[in-house]
Amino acid sequence: MFQLVKPEVESIPRETWNTVKVKWYFWLLIVVSVISVTSLFFLRVVKNDLINYAGMIPVFGAVAYVASVNKKVRTAFWKNLAELNGWNYKSADDPKREIGIMFRQGHDQKIYHVIEGEIEGRQFKVFNYHFTIGSGKHRQTFFYTVFVFKFNGTFPHIYLNNKANHYDIWVNEKLPVPSEFGKIFSLSAKRGYEIEALEIFTPEVLSKILDGKHTSDIEFVDQRMIIFTDKKIDNIRDLETRIKQALELEDLLDDKLDKFKFHEIGDRPYNF
């Protein structure tokens, strides 16, 4: 059984706080921010945008400083995790290099803190991903921690959407699932390859996913299973839980996916 070697930083928010709280200039920024905000409150009758903006500079400075420390701590968390477990790390990657419908959603897509290596002989990758939809007051950003496993078999583009998360997505044709799963999952596949999708996601498999309390989306494309965990991980406890769940899904489907073969139908595309 796989045992994760834990990084030195076990909680990104806690380590960020431990770092900033001992810096005198952080507290100076806080004091000046409080004075500035209090002064603006008592001077709110003054209709001078320049004064208002100037008074908020210390607040922006404090926020920017904490954000900068948090970014450094997060990088150390993922980089140290990779080093301790014998994996490769890079700070960012181009979403256009990833094949999958989730990586074409919205705008401002970003992939960062990428780890690649092997777990129990299986090629895998884990990274942070986010994209944005809408703009202005309707702007919304979706954050994911993504796990990728590569298999020996070949299979068409299939997507299992878990309705427990916050973003719904499908590929071409929506497929029927047994009524007991209809409120939890929606299944879709490339047109003409519906049978292959139903052969993989049998009622037994859906039942085991449900029993395991998995809330991730699962995408199959280009010999890979891509698991989209619906949030950005901030501590080692959450990461261990998510890796365990990802490996449970890999173990549930590995025999089938390593052996799976299908026949391409004429000129109908089977991949993304």
pLDDT confidence band for 56 (50 / 70 / 90): low
**158 and 101 in contact (C-beta within 8 Å)?**
no
Lowest mean pLDDT among 55-64, 71-80, 123-132, 167-176: 55-64
CA 11, 17, 20, 26: dihedral to nearest 10 degrees?
Answer: 150
**Per-residue confidence (pLDDT) for residue 13, from 0 to 100:** 93
**Per-residue confidence (pLDDT) for residue 230, from 0 to 100:** 87
- Mean pLDDT of the region 15-20: 92
Report whether pLDDT(44) > 70: no
User: Mind spelling out the 3-state secondary structure of the chain?
Assistant: CCCCCCCCCCEHHHHHHHHHCCCHHHHHHHHHHHHHHHHHHHCCCCCCHHHHHHHHHHHHHHHHHHHHHHHHHHHHHHHHHHHHCCCEEEEEECHHHCCCHHHHCCEEEEEEEEEEEEECCEEEEEEEEEEEECCHHHCEEEEEEEEEEECCCCCCCEEEEECCCCCCCCCEEEECCCHHHCCCEEEEECCCCHHHHHHHCCHHHHHHHHHCCCCCEEEEECCEEEEEECCCCCEHHHHHHHHHHHHHHHHHHHHHHHHCCCCCCCCCCCCC
CA geometry: angle at 152 spanning 146 and 158, to 5°? 55
- The mean pLDDT value of the chain amounts to 86
In whole angstroms, give the CA distance from residue 64 to residue 61: 5
Please state the φ and ψ torsions of residue 189, each to the nearest 5 degrees: -155, 165
**Per-residue confidence (pLDDT) for residue 267, from 0 to 100:** 54
Neighbour count for residue 123 (Cβ, 10 Å): 14
Lowest mean pLDDT among 28-42, 110-124, 203-217, 249-263: 28-42
The two tokens of residue 183 are: 């409120």
Question: Cα 190 to chain center, whole Å?
Answer: 24
Q: Which of 103, 110, 132, 146 is nearest to 239 (CA)?
A: 146
Provide the pairing of β-strand 224-229 with 185-189. Answer: unpaired
**Per-residue confidence (pLDDT) for residue 60, from 0 to 100:** 80
